[in-house]
Chain A
Amino acid sequence: MEKTVAIELKGITKVFGDVIANKNVDLELYRGEILSVLGENGSGKTTLMNMIAGIYFPDEGQIFVDGKEVVIKSPKDAFAHKIGMIHQHFKLVDVFTAADNIILGEKCPKFDVKQEAERIRAEHEAENKAFEEYKPEEHTGVLSYMKAPKFHKPSETKRKIAALPFVKLGRAMKFNWLARHRADEVQKIANKFGFQIDLKKKIYDMSVSEKQTVEIIKVLYRGADILILDEPTAVLTPQEIDKLFEVLRNMKAHGKSIIIITHKLNEVMEISDRVAVLRKGEHIATVNTSETNEQELTEMMVGKKVSLNIDRTEPHDAKDRLVVSGLTALNEEGVKVLDDVSFEARSGEILGIAGIAGSGQRQLLEAIAGLYKVKSGEITYNDPNNEDKPVDLRSKTPLQIRNLGVRLSFVPEDRLGMGLVGNMDLVDNMMLRSYRKGFMFLDRKSPKKLAETIVEELEVVTPSTHTAVRKLSGGNVQKVLVGREISSAPTVLMAAYPVRGLDINSSYTIYNLLNEQKEKGVAVIFVGEDLDVLIELCDRIMVICAGKVTGVVDGRTANKNDIGLLMMGKSSEENEAADNETQAIKEDGIDE
């Protein structure tokens, strides 16, 4: 089969401020193939794809669809070229059914009065003719008279035709009826590609994977031939991933071209025909999946093997500081988000928590901090200031925990939505932790001093300590937050994705801060997504999958492969078996 080019990118460059997101990228996508776009976080994959989907407009370069140069300035333009993108954040109306979401905003066919009049006339004539030829005696049965043709008087035909301009007006104002069986129409498309989904279900009753399916069907329903999926597997369980891949293959068989953005090598190998690798905004190479292996891809992706060089000291005098046992918690829908989680965090040690995003990391930390309702299980803190006397933290409010003398610091994932108040300045944000001191009135002096110290020591770039934190960049916001949390001399420090969205320098600042705390004897809990960092930084790594602990490994001996499998919910025995048998997934196989 001869391959025809669906999309071609030539010399695409995109600059944000001083930062080059994409530099002179050339890329080709053929009809009926699945192309993986592979790259690490920050390599410019999503930016590149957003330019095809009309979210951004390239600064330089050309885009060709079917060999013709096109200008894509908005998602609408992209659709006109039959390009559809499924973003990580779903755009769905919660209270609508899946089918209604899919048909939302669909273009209605043009209504032509003349044509419609012709149609009615012809229809009536045909039926009148049938009426004349109809012999009632030939048709028996109860419902026969319902099926019998009816006679249309000329006046009726005339009336109907005269009404057409008003129908047109109604159509123009979109008073079109929603077909009672609109779900069936959509269902046909779903069936064609093998989606299994109840389209009459409301979105708020759906799982993430179902929502994703709805998004994909929506794009297909609009007639897209080229689909771009932005990290579709990040939020899915292994079974759901299998299902998704099956559907993708099905779509490929129907001649659709698919681009899948990912940084998971095993998926690349499994699903794609070709792989385009991006590194730091540049296109490194595009290779056929069958002619490459994970080792090669990894090298292309990361370039030279980079050693992170995080200084890891041996923990000394590690004592169980925080002991969690049998922790179970339910979400609003009554689904277990934490399922019998047990572990201990030790003083002078960094405990890493690895897992696919949304496996219960947030709930775990919030439960410990007293922010998430626990159904069963124990959270015990051994107070170092009181001869390690155990203190029960379960179902305590953050204030009660504080009042028990527990020095628990928490850097939440949502920095400006939870950890800090965006509209307040640095000083007032420092005060969040300390304002209760004193009588009636606020003491702004010591928070100001603290803010100044943090600005100086962590090199926070800000015009003054009276600037609203929302005006700072992500890295600086994080420094402010971590700085504040560390300043209260904690004995337990929990940090959720503390380096997300940060550049290398800021990230290292954070790693160093965590290490410093560890050396001070603090029990540090670090929820991360980059396995390389987890392995180099943490003393032990706990892996969770769908709210369950699937294993705890030693950071000094662990490899990415083992952790990756644990993240998928496979135990280490299966793990080894898998290793021995297939050698399918090699070291560095799974990123994140």
Chain B
Amino acid sequence: MIAAFLKSAIRLSATFLFGSTGEIIIEKGGHLNLGIPGVMSVGAACGCIAEFYMVRAFGTSAPFMLLAIPILVTLLTGALMGLLFSFLTVTLRANQNVVGLAMTTFGVGLAGYLITKMQSQNFIIITRASKFYLNLFNLAGNDNWFVKIFLSHGILVYIAIILAIVVQIILSKTRVGLNLRAVGENPATADAAGINVTKYRYVSTCVGCAISALGGLFCIMDYMGGNWEYILEGYGWLSIALVIFTMWRPALAIPGSFIFGGLYILSSYIDGVTFAQMEIINILPYAVAIVVLIITSIFGKKNVQPPAALGLSYFREER
């Protein structure tokens, strides 16, 4: 029972992990992107549509195409949304909160529209591809508890964790990470040091959005088994909350997202609760996010604060 719970928690956590890893990259560069729910939705929708055409073209005979093409399409869609966000906030200097919210409205709507449109066809066939997401590198069947909990997942779960670690290393140990952090902390200084602030913000936003979008695809194709549900908006918002929970560290996002995932599914794993009580238990992830938010704001030291220039636009002429 506990093993099953932990396993599910970890499985779900990949959605949050992709989302918050992406958002951390974006925020480290100084952008507060409230459009993540939209990005995840559109990314997942486009990925699923790609999946649909792949399944129709190849049946289930070409696992590589069934995996690679939808993932690529999702990444690309995410990056395009990121491009839109950066264009509006960096080049057109619009307020980041407003653009983010508008992108969420737009993205969630577009995803819903596309999916509804597809569902008039035989969209359900994408569930057939789900097993490829699930089975690759999945060691289920082994009786070892460790394998059961940690190693019986689909490939994207591992990718999420590896990605978080890689991003953490890039941010803290490489020059590009140092430069990006400088851009998010003090763009004027970064600019004076010869770093192209605009370029860094564009690229980090696009990359971050692409990674977040992958979380959407994972959620639908792996966690939901290929059945489309309109749940990504909520997951997107939680991913943004998770960024604060993890104090802008992707490595901490791994346990953080496990906890969020666990809280999210907790109600289904407690014996003897009614459906009504389940809904109350489901408040937990949100309540915990708020509590963490409050605690970090009261006791937060300098190094757990958000990037200093978060949410602020930077224009060189205003030096």
Contact = CB atoms under 8 A, between A and B. Distances in A.
B141 interface: no
Nearest to B307: A95
Contact of B185 (A95, A103, A175, A176): A95
B237 to A, nearest CB: 27
A95 B170 contact: no
Interface stretch (A86-94, A109-117, A445-453, A539-547): A86-94
A105 B182 CA distance: 9
A108 B195 CA distance: 13
Nearest to B183: A93
Given A95-B302, A104-B179, A202-B303, 20 more contacts: A76-B194, A91-B192, A91-B193, A92-B186, A92-B189, A93-B185, A93-B186, A94-B302, A95-B303, A96-B185, A104-B178, A104-B189, A105-B182, A105-B190, A105-B195, A174-B175, A178-B173, A178-B175, A178-B177, A202-B302
Interface in A62-99: 75-76, 91-96
Interface in A190-234: 202, 204
A173 interface: yes
Given A94-B185, A94-B308, A96-B185, A175 B193 contact: no
B181 interface: yes
Contact residue range for chain B?
A: 20 to 34
A178 B182 contact: no
14 contacts: A93-B181, A93-B186, A94-B186, A94-B302, A95-B303, A96-B178, A104-B182, A105-B194, A105-B195, A107-B194, A175-B170, A176-B174, A177-B175, A178-B178
Contacts of A178: 173-175, 177-178
B188 interface: yes
Contacts of A104: 178-179, 182, 189-190, 193, 195
B176 interface: yes
Interface in B193-213: 193-195
Given A94-B302, A95-B302, A173 B176 contact: yes
Which of B192, B305, B308 is most buried by chain A, counting CB atoms within 10 A of its CB?
B192
A100 interface: yes
A174 B302 CA distance: 27
Q: Top 9 nearest A-B pairs by Cβ distance?
A: A105-B193, A174-B176, A91-B189, A105-B194, A176-B175, A174-B175, A93-B185, A104-B193, A93-B186
Nearest to B303: A95
Nearest to B180: A174
Contacts of A175: 170, 174-176
Contact of B179 (A91, A174, A202, A204): A174
Contact residue range for chain A?
A: 20 to 34
Contacts of B194: 76, 105, 107
A518 B308 CA distance: 45
B39 to A, nearest CB: 23
A178 to B, nearest CB: 6
A105 B173 CA distance: 15
Contacts of A177: 173-175
Contact of A75 (B170, B192, B302): B192
Contacts of A93: 181-182, 185-186, 189-190
Name B's interface SS. Answer: helix
Contacts of B175: 108, 174-178
A173 B180 CA distance: 12
Nearest to A55: B319
Nearest to A90: B189
B319 to A, nearest CB: 9
Nearest to A175: B174
Contacts of B170: 175
A104 B176 CA distance: 10
A91 B194 CA distance: 12
A105 B302 contact: no
A362 to B, nearest CB: 22
A173 B194 CA distance: 15
B174 A91 contact: no
Contacts of B182: 93, 96, 104-105
A489 to B, nearest CB: 40
A201 to B, nearest CB: 12
A62 to B, nearest CB: 26
A295 to B, nearest CB: 40
Given A91-B192, A178-B173, A202-B302, A100 B185 contact: no
Contacts of B190: 93, 104-105
Contacts of A176: 174-176
A105 B196 CA distance: 10
Contacts of B303: 95, 202
A79 B195 CA distance: 14
A107 B174 CA distance: 14
Nearest to A174: B176
A577 B209 CA distance: 70
A100 B178 contact: yes
Which of A94, A95, A103 is most buried by chain B, counting CB atoms within 10 A of its CB?
A95
Interface string B123-161: 000000000000000000000000000000000000000
Interface string B56-82: 000000000000000000000000000
B302 A204 contact: yes
A178 B174 CA distance: 5
Which of B173, B176, B186, B192 is most buried by chain A, counting CB atoms within 10 A of its CB?
B186
A531 B195 CA distance: 42
A526 to B, nearest CB: 32
A483 B315 CA distance: 35
A108 B170 CA distance: 17
Contacts of A75: 192
B191 to A, nearest CB: 9
A231 B144 CA distance: 69
B178 A95 contact: no
A105 B189 CA distance: 10
A204 B305 CA distance: 13
A94 B194 CA distance: 18
A174 B186 CA distance: 19
A105 B176 contact: no
A105 B185 contact: no
A202 B305 CA distance: 14
Contacts of B185: 93-96
Contacts of A204: 302
A75 B192 CA distance: 8
A91 B188 contact: yes
Contacts of A103: 178
Contacts of A174: 174-176, 179
A103 B175 CA distance: 9
Contacts of A107: 194
A202 B302 CA distance: 10
Nearest to A92: B189
A291 B189 CA distance: 41
Which of A103, A174, A175, A176 is most buried by chain B, counting CB atoms within 10 A of its CB?
A174
A38 to B, nearest CB: 27
Contacts of B192: 75, 91
A54 to B, nearest CB: 11
B243 to A, nearest CB: 17
Contacts of A202: 302-303
Nearest to B185: A93
A94 B184 CA distance: 11
A223 to B, nearest CB: 13
Nearest to B319: A55
B35 to A, nearest CB: 25
A96 B180 CA distance: 12
Nearest to A100: B178
Interface in B293-319: 302-303, 305, 308
Interface in A124-181: 173-178
B309 to A, nearest CB: 10
A51 to B, nearest CB: 16
Contacts of A76: 194
A323 B188 CA distance: 44
Interface string A224-261: 00000000000000000000000000000000000000
